[in-house]
Homo-oligomer: A and B are copies of this chain.
Amino acid sequence: MRQVPPSGRPTLDEVAAHAGVSRSVASRVLNNAPHVSRAKREAVERAVRDLGYVPNPKARALATRQAGAAALVISQHDPSVLADPFFGQVIAGVSSVLEEAELHLMLCLAASDRSRKRVGDLLRSRGVDGVMMMALHGDDPLAHMATETALPVVFGGRPGGADPRWYVDIDNVAGARHATEHLLAGGRRNIVTICGPLDTEVGRARHQGYREALLLAGRIPQAFEVGDFNEPSGAAAMTRLLAQRPDIDGVFAANDNMAAGALRALREAGRSVPHDVAVVGFDDLPVARITDPALTTVHQPIRDLGREMARMVVGVIEGGDPSPLLLPSHLVVRSSA
């Protein structure tokens, strides 16, 4: 262990001495607590400025038992998730709200078992005041771990097995339903779907929305294939579907990346979009404007998702008990359907 060197930074004691008051008074000024005379308050403020004093957050955290930070945990085995701009947007939303609440953001990418353990320790050691968790596959041990610690935990998208107290989710079922209804309204008859992994809630929910739309219209859901939310898997799924049912005229893909892959596969198979086959995606990622033809897709308020998660976790930290939230999505019609 390294020796502890003197820090060199001014401490609250020095500020107090410089201002001619006791440490208690100085502390009260910093936390603008009452019971400080105007004169001393100003003296302390001057001393703070003169000395360039910045409170030591660790000491404060130790005394108050508050970390001054919240964690965003993204639990994913595949580290390439972040290649998806989706998380960037969530992070931006989270960050903007936490900032207002004066909380720092600890980002935890829980890919390996080792890192999951580290996240667990972070929570158990109260290294953060609250947690936001995203992208949980199946019933992730991290979900239990988080609830066990009795820390405020907000889920982004409901985790598989559990029924969490606080979560924010996109209304995936409704979104997928609208997408499929749009295909039906366009006169499509043989509508298939490319799903996300069915061990994720998103994957399941979007698949269910697709089925609901067809069943409500008195039709039987057709074939489906499962992808992993990335472009290549979408192309592969599309190819398999075409082989199974050559008469396909509509495709609902559970996200835009896979829809883009489907577009590519269709092009390679010589089908024209939207003339022969109409395609609808989900997410409204930037890629949706770039494909040719541009993707009709379900826009989801990703940034808001992050913002609301953060707002919710802040609410819980401050002692509230906010209700779960289901954010609305809406269809953006472009050229592919």
Residues of A participating in the B interface, judged by any CB pair closer than 8 Å: 1-2, 4-5, 7, 9, 31, 33, 52, 54-59, 61-67, 69, 79-85, 87-89, 91-92, 95-96, 99, 102, 104-109, 111-112, 114-115, 118, 121-122, 124-127, 231, 257, 260, 264, 267, 286-287, 289-292
Complex: A114 Cα to B233 Cα, angstroms:
43
Given the interface pairs A2-B64, A65-B5, A88-B88, the reply to whether A289 lies near B56 with Cβ below 8 Å is no
Neighbouring B residues of A80 by C-beta, 8 Å: 92
Top 3 nearest A-B pairs (CB, nearest first) are A82-B88, A58-B61, A95-B109
Neighbouring B residues of A33 by C-beta, 8 Å: 1
Neighbouring B residues of A55 by C-beta, 8 Å: 125
Contact between chains at A125 and B56 (CB < 8 Å): yes
A35 → chain B closest CB, angstroms: 12
Complex: A168 Cα to B5 Cα, angstroms:
29
Neighbouring B residues of A96 by C-beta, 8 Å: 79, 109, 111
Neighbouring B residues of A122 by C-beta, 8 Å: 57, 104
Q: Which of B56, B81, B92 contacts A79 (CB 8 A)?
A: B92
Residue of B nearest to A28 (CB): B1
15 contacts between A and B (CB under 8 A): A1-B33, A7-B65, A54-B124, A57-B122, A81-B88, A81-B92, A82-B85, A95-B107, A99-B112, A104-B106, A104-B108, A104-B122, A264-B290, A287-B290, A292-B292
Neighbouring B residues of A56 by C-beta, 8 Å: 62, 125-126
